[in-house]
């Protein structure tokens, strides 16, 4: 968490303490009384990265990623009455504001710098806001969409305000070109000294920018960078010992995965920070498990695996967090 007030971030030492402990002290621990005091004086409490730290929000964020196929991040902002946490600014990602308690007045202005990248944060010298294009008060249950780069500010009224900010980090053409260029490291010509004409190199780069290649790299990046959502991991460890041929399992709804072909016809299953390699003979079983829209049992798997092989495969997919058990035998 952090505290901000009128655009300035308070020093962590203003509201945290170090607690002596063995073998190491706990550093930067929130001093609740001091944090409340700063809140009373107008500071906004920002709970950061709830898509990582809070299981219900993590599941919600992952459901959005399933739909949008873009990375999502979530912060919460708790602002006291008659206060402003941040001054006029733009975000470098698209934003959905989900008001959960209290009210907040939002003023949205046209961008002065279109479609900023992460390194292009708002600075006053870019230009000040003109007349607001939107001046609206959001209340519990309301949603406000603020596109990337649009200037905005928010103020509370007579009540506290709590809202979630859902940030969507879209894959840009700059990202696509960089990813394609990284793949060019396999080509000798790109590793030579930068002398002479680059025409041939530009053509080689262009060949890697087809729609299919761009989509593949974007999907790989999304799948590879998602963190696991495993709130029931210990329950699954207990359940997997009793796994049988008729035990109902399902693909975790929070898993974004990619099934592809590896070297020597191996089958690669990529999800989150995991890459599993299987022999080509289990492709049919893996495709079924990866695409199943409803619970199934190991006995339901197609393919040539015998009963013992099906149990081994499903057990591993449960232990790796790709599948989860939803019911036990009997």
Range 88-101 average pLDDT? 97
What's the burial of 293, exposed, middle or buried (CB within 10 Å: 0-12/13-18/19+)? exposed
In a domain, 199, yes or no: yes
Residue 311, domain extent:
233-327
* Closest C-alpha among 308, 293, 298 to residue 329: 298
Range 291-316 average pLDDT? 97
Instruction: Give the per-residue pLDDT at 327.
Output: 64
In a domain, 248, yes or no: yes
In a domain, 16, yes or no: no
In a domain, 253, yes or no: yes
List alpha helices for 9-70, DSSP H. 32-40, 50-53, 55-68
Distance (Å) of CA 118 to CA 115, 220, 238 = 10, 21, 43
Instruction: Give the per-residue pLDDT at 330.
Output: 41
Residues 159 and 203 both lie in one domain: no
- Dihedrals φ, ψ of 285, to 5°? -65, -40
Q: Calculate the average pLDDT of the chain.
A: 94
Residues 97 and 154 both lie in one domain: yes
Residues 53 and 150 both lie in one domain: yes
CA distance 202 to 260: 28
In a domain, 17, yes or no: no
pTM as predicted: 0.90
CATH number for the domain that contains residue 315: 3.90.930.40
CATH number for the domain that contains residue 159: 2.60.120.650
Residues 161 and 59 both lie in one domain: yes
Range 95-108 average pLDDT? 97
Range 198-204 average pLDDT? 90
Residues 78 and 162 both lie in one domain: yes
DSSP string covering 189-219, please?
A: GGGS-S-S--HHHHHHHHHT-SHHHHHHHHH
In a domain, 21, yes or no: no
Residues 161 and 54 both lie in one domain: yes
Flag whether pLDDT at 138 surpasses 70: yes
Residues 61 and 138 both lie in one domain: yes
Distance (Å) of CA 126 to CA 24, 70, 89 = 46, 28, 11
Instruction: Give the per-residue pLDDT at 84.
Output: 86
In a domain, 240, yes or no: yes
Instruction: Give the per-residue pLDDT at 329.
Output: 47
Residues 66 and 79 both lie in one domain: yes
In a domain, 29, yes or no: no
- What contacts 250, CB < 8 A, 6 or more positions away? 292, 294, 295, 296, 323, 324, 326
Residues 134 and 199 both lie in one domain: no
* Closest C-alpha among 260, 256, 277 to residue 321: 256
Residues 115 and 67 both lie in one domain: yes
Q: What would the pLDDT profile of 244-292 be if each residue is shown by its tens digit?
A: 999 999 999 999 999 998 887 899 999 998 999 999 999 999 999 999 9
Encoded tokens for 103: 């009210």
- Residue 328: pLDDT band with limits 50, 70, 90: low
Residues 258 and 286 both lie in one domain: yes
What's the burial of 320, exposed, middle or buried (CB within 10 Å: 0-12/13-18/19+)? middle
Q: What would the pLDDT profile of 44-81 be if each residue is shown by its tens digit?
A: 999 999 999 999 999 999 999 999 999 999 999 999 99
Domain count, the chain: 3
CA distance 205 to 185: 11
Instruction: Give the per-residue pLDDT at 75.
Output: 98
The DSSP output letter for 166 is: E
Residues 122 and 205 both lie in one domain: no
Flag whether pLDDT at 210 surpasses 80: yes
CA distance 245 to 298: 5
Instruction: Give the per-residue pLDDT at 167.
Output: 98
Distance (Å) of CA 261 to CA 14, 71, 179, 312, 326 = 54, 25, 20, 21, 29
């Amino acid at each position: 968490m952090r505290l901000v007030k009128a655009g300035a971030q308070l020093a962590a030492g203003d509201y945290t303490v170090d607690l002596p402990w063995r073998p190491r002290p706990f550093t930067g621990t929130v001093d609740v009384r001091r944090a409340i005091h700063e809140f009373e004086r107008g500071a906004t409490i920002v709970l950061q990265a709830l898509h990582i730290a809070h299981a219900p929000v993590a599941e919600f964020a992952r459901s959005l990623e399933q739909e949008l196929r873009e990375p999502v991040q979530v912060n919460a902002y708790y602002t006291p009455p008659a206060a402003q946490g941040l001054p006029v600014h733009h975000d470098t990602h698209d934003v959905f504001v989900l008001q959960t308690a209290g009210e907040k007045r939002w003023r949205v202005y046209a961008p002065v710098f279109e479609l900023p990248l992460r390194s292009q944060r708002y600075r006053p010298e870019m230009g000040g806001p003109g007349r607001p294009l939107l001046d609206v008060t959001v209340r519990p249950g309301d949603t406000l969409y603020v596109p990337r780069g649009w200037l905005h500010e928010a103020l509370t009224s007579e009540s506290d305000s709590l809202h979630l900010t859902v940030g969507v980090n879209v894959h840009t053409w700059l990202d696509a070109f960089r990813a394609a260029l990284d793949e060019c490291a396999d080509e000798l010509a790109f590793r030579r000294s930068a002398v002479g004409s680059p025409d041939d190199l530009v053509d080689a780069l262009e060949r890697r920018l087809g729609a299919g290649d761009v989509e593949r790299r974007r999907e790989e990046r999304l799948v590879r960078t998602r963190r696991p959502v495993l709130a029931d991991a210990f329950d699954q460890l207990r359940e997997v010992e009793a796994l049988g041929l008729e035990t109902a399992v399902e693909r975790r709804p929070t898993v974004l995965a990619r099934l592809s072909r590896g070297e020597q016809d191996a089958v690669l299953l990529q999800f989150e920070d995991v890459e599993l390699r299987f022999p080509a003979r289990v492709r049919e079983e893996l495709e079924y498990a990866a695409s199943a829209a409803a619970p199934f049992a190991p006995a339901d798997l197609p393919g040539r695996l015998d009963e013992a092989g099906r149990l081994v495969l499903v057990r591993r997919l449960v232990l790796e967090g790709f599948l989860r058990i939803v019911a036990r035998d009997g």
